[in-house]
Amino acid sequence: MRLWIFLSLLAIIPANGDRGAEIYTEHCASCHGDRGEGVANEYDEALVGKKSIASLAKYIHRTMPEDDEDTVIDDDALRVAEYIHAAFYSPEAQAKIKPVRKDFLRRTQQQHRRSITDIVQSFRGRAWMGGENGLRGHYYQKEKMNNRKKELVKRVDPIIIFDIHKNHGIEGLDPKAHAIYWSGSILPPETGTYQFRVNTPNGVRVFLNEPGQKNDAFIDAWVSSGNQMRSVEAPIFLLGGHAISIVIDFVCYKEEKSSLSLDWKPPHGTWEPVPSRVLFVDGSREAALISTPFPADDASLGYERGSSISKAWKEAITNAAIEATGLIFDDIDELARTKSDQPDRPEKLKKFCSDFAFRAFSRPLTEGQRKTYIDNVFAKAGDDYETATKRSLMLTLTSPYFLYPSLNRNEKGEPDNFTTAAHFALALWDSVPDQPLLDAASKGDISNPKQIEDRLWNMMGDPRAKAKLHSFFHHWLNLSEKEDLDKDPNLFPGFDEKIIADLRTSLDLFIDNVVWSEQSDYRRLFTEDKLYLNPRLADFYGAPKPKTNSFEPLLTSDKKRAGLFTHPYVLTAFSYHKQTSPIHRGVYLSRNVLGRFLKPPPNAIEFKDADFKPHLTMREKVTNLTKDENCMACHSIINPVGFSLENFDAIGRFRTHEKNKPINTVSDYQTEESETVKITGPNDLAKLAVESPGAHRAFLKHLFHHLIQQSTNAYGFGTMDHLHEFFKNTRFHIRSTMVTMVKETIPKKIE
């Protein structure tokens, strides 16, 4: 215990010779070193930490120095604690001693893909999808070769499930000769590969990301096979928060059976009808989606950032540039606003390349850049303007001015309005500025505080911001690494891939409801007692069935839920294949959510269930495994948190007994301030997350890293204090805090 707390101290002897420093020199330096660097065979680790002055003073009073614990007590203990904390122990002190500088970062793979897509999209425009969910369906009679003889009905269908022999609601529709045409958009919630599937005995073509249907259908099942039911599927890579168009052309002629359903399998999901919540009635423009594989980004600091440069990354950016150039050239005349036979086509292609570089670099080109990326390229190509265009695009997409956003400075090397615009887009969208944002920068309309505030709030309403927040929560909850949630089917019958996929959706809907509500209150993440359940989940977790087939917030029969702490997806992710894991639950929640500092274990001990007698409960096993004093330095924090959730089994169902023994969830928990509080269950955990400054700061730190991809200390050691104060003053408003984070990190002229 003594080692654990003092592993968090770094000592530097200041010149003022105050009483705290004198006491430290006399009684502490022999073990911890004059500068807190540690002493061999005593305490050989550097001493840094996050405890408060009061907490340090209590510990020093109680235990230090080891050979005479009554030497430094009362006021002397407080003086030493004040000295240690202010001069060298705290993160703020460390920031003064070793200033943290901003890292020079490239775009991450997510930022790279989305930026290319958005640059090309800027030449087409981002169409409004409409506010109504579903696809717009047109129902026709069919006659011979005429698939659309007479339109009977035009309506919005929430999902695509049609059957002529069921109540389709179309009066007068010929059961053996009809056609249906659906159109609209799909807004994928996350980035990844999606599978789509049609099930029909008739003819159907599906066009994804082809609003004009000028190319081959994404799924072509136009020629039916004897009116026999068949399924046809195909994959596509999509960007979360970037809508794509969908068109479905369906026909039945002189056939007894007529039906169609459209399913999808999203990343981390299973086959299901494409849900209404991702369908929108209005169409979208074609998107240039980059599917080139990239190497994983560096996540060694706990968040992804573009800090690593490798041969694989260089190859990936080249291949992505080649893929993007090919996609652009498929529609070059449309994008450049020209035609192949127009005499001014060469000039329009050149202008397109100039505009493309402007949008990729997020600022007007300098004279030198224009020569390098445009003029010299076209001059060398002679009359081969198409080759010149391709070379210019390739140069732009592999240029440092595109790859490294922090190079966005004016010719004097100073940040300006274009720097601000690029910062906004990268932080909130993982992308480049759109045309309205570039126009605002050109006009100087993002200069004063009100303009900046208004612009950021406007950007927060974009689907790309919502997609970025989705990825943040999965990263903060450490769920992005939890791919295998399968459990023993004999112990947990019915817990299959469909339940797992539903739970993921349930979690996302719950988070969305909290974040995008008017209050956007962080505290609701832990205090909500309802789960978002569809009929399948409601039946499995013992809740009343929802009124519809979609997800609704419902109380489970146990009525013991406490937001994220007790969501079945989270509880399942931090459990073993056959049983719960108080250690996994306790470590994750303590570190990421409650913000507690946990040292790496001195000796990693693997939990082996076979080593314990079969009648022992999980709490008894963990207590026995971690009873050693060295283990309890951290497990005194970890175990009470994990034990408090033992009423929930490995798939998040409520229980009261294990091994025919009543479950005990009560433990004494030591707070950051060395106060002992009793934890009896998830509601007490929720209280800690809601009230603890450490928990608030942990959330803010993770959110800051995800948005800005830099350390908070790189913006001054008081940054976290300022953000925490703002967080509290806005009643823990998540979106307001995001806006403030982006606003407070705008690059300044003097950095």
Q: How far apart are CA 530 and CA 562, in angstroms?
A: 8
State both tokens at 374. 């445009």
| One domain, residues 12 and 72 | yes
Output the pLDDT for position 69. 62
Residue 750 pLDDT greater than 90, yes or no: no
Best CA proximity match to 590, nearest among 513, 657, 644, 660: 644
Q: How far apart are CA 363 and CA 369, in angstroms?
A: 11
What are the backbone angles phi and psi of residue 156, rounded to the nearest 5°? -100, 125
| One domain, residues 90 and 166 | no
Which comes out higher in pLDDT, residue 11 or 81?
81
| One domain, residues 51 and 166 | no
Least confident of 20-34, 238-252, 428-442: 20-34
542 inside domain: yes
177 inside domain: yes
Q: What is the pLDDT of residues 510-551, one digit of tens each?
A: 999 999 999 999 999 999 999 999 999 999 999 999 988 899
What's the angle, vertex CA 665, arms to CA 660 and CA 667, rounded to 5? 135
Cα distances (angstroms) measured from residue 9 to each of 19, 460, 670: 18, 41, 19
Can you tell me whether residue 367 is helix, strand or coil? helix
Please state whether beta strands 192-200 and 279-280 pair in parallel, antiparallel, or not at all (unpaired): unpaired
Which residue, 252, 280, 308, sits at the end of a domain? 280
Q: What is the pLDDT of residues 250-265, one digit of tens each?
A: 999 999 999 999 999 9
Q: What is the pLDDT of residues 297-353, one digit of tens each?
A: 998 888 899 999 999 999 999 999 999 999 999 999 999 999 988 999 999 999 999
What are the backbone angles phi and psi of residue 270, rounded to the nearest 5°? -130, 170
Best CA proximity match to 603, nearest among 630, 584, 627, 582: 630
pLDDT interval class at 67 (50, 70, 90):
low
Output the pLDDT for position 35. 64
Residue 287 pLDDT greater than 90, yes or no: yes
| One domain, residues 179 and 66 | no
Q: What is the mean pLDDT of residues 409-437?
A: 96
Which residue, 219, 251, 280, sits at the end of a domain? 280
Cβ pair 166, 119 in contact under 8 A: no
| One domain, residues 66 and 160 | no
In which residue are the tokens 């560096």 written? 298
Best CA proximity match to 504, nearest among 273, 269, 194, 274: 269
454 inside domain: no
Output the pLDDT for position 176. 92
Element of type H or E holding 154: strand 146-157
Q: What is the mean pLDDT of residues 390-399?
A: 98
Output the pLDDT for position 495. 97
Output the pLDDT for position 8. 39
| One domain, residues 516 and 661 | yes
| One domain, residues 668 and 522 | yes
Number of structural domains (the chain) is 3
Output the pLDDT for position 131. 80
pLDDT interval class at 6 (50, 70, 90):
very low
Give percent of the chain above pLDDT 90: 72
State both tokens at 315. 């190859």
Output the pLDDT for position 331. 94
CATH of the domain at 26: 1.10.760.10
Distance from CA of residue 242 to its chain's centroid?
A: 15
Q: What is the pLDDT of residues 85-99, one digit of tens each?
A: 777 777 777 777 777
Cβ pair 98, 246 in contact under 8 A: no
Q: Which domain holds residue 219?
A: 135-280
Cite the beta strand spans of 516-660 per DSSP E: 531-533, 552-554, 657-658
Say what angle helices 311-330 and 109-121 make with each other, to 10 degrees: 20
162 inside domain: yes
DSSP letter string over 634-661? Answer: HHHHHHHHHHTTTTB-TTS-B-SEETTE
Cβ pair 238, 192 in contact under 8 A: yes
Task: Report which residue type is found at 89.
Answer: Y
Say what angle helices 629-643 and 618-625 make with each other, to 10 degrees: 160
Q: Which residues sit opposite 272 in a β-bridge?
A: 264
| One domain, residues 61 and 143 | no
What is the DSSP code (8-state) at residue 70? T
Cβ pair 38, 31 in contact under 8 A: no
Cβ pair 222, 259 in contact under 8 A: no
| One domain, residues 618 and 508 | yes
Residue 751 pLDDT greater than 60, yes or no: no
Which comes out higher in pLDDT, residue 116 or 630?
116
Average pLDDT, the chain: 90
Q: What is the mean pLDDT of residues 96-114?
A: 89
Q: How far apart are the first and last CA of the chain?
A: 42
CATH of the domain at 179: 2.60.120.1560
| One domain, residues 165 and 59 | no
Cβ pair 245, 287 in contact under 8 A: no
Q: Is the dihedral of CA 270, 477, 523, 512 positive or negative?
A: negative
313 inside domain: no
Q: How far apart are CA 741 and CA 61, in angstroms?
A: 39
Residue length of the chain: 751
Output the pLDDT for position 326. 96
222 inside domain: yes
91 inside domain: yes
Cβ pair 243, 284 in contact under 8 A: yes
Q: What is the mean pLDDT of residues 476-492?
A: 87
Output the pLDDT for position 214. 81
Q: What is the pLDDT of residues 373-388, one digit of tens each?
A: 999 999 998 889 999 9
314 inside domain: no
Say what angle helices 311-330 and 385-397 make with each other, to 10 degrees: 140
b/e code 372-385 from CB counts within 10 Å (16+ = b): bbbeebbeebeeeb
Distance from CA of residue 747 to its chain's centroid?
A: 24
| One domain, residues 191 and 88 | no
Best CA proximity match to 327, nearest among 272, 289, 299, 355: 289
Which residue, 216, 250, 280, sits at the end of a domain? 280
* Cβ neighbours, 10 Å, residue 41: 6
Q: How far apart are CA 95 and CA 713, in angstroms?
A: 6
Cβ pair 120, 397 in contact under 8 A: no
| One domain, residues 67 and 140 | no
In which residue are the tokens 């510990």 written? 59
Best CA proximity match to 569, nearest among 503, 510, 653, 650: 503
DSSP letter string over 108-146? Answer: -HHHHHHHHHHHHHTTT------S-BSEEEEEEEEETTE
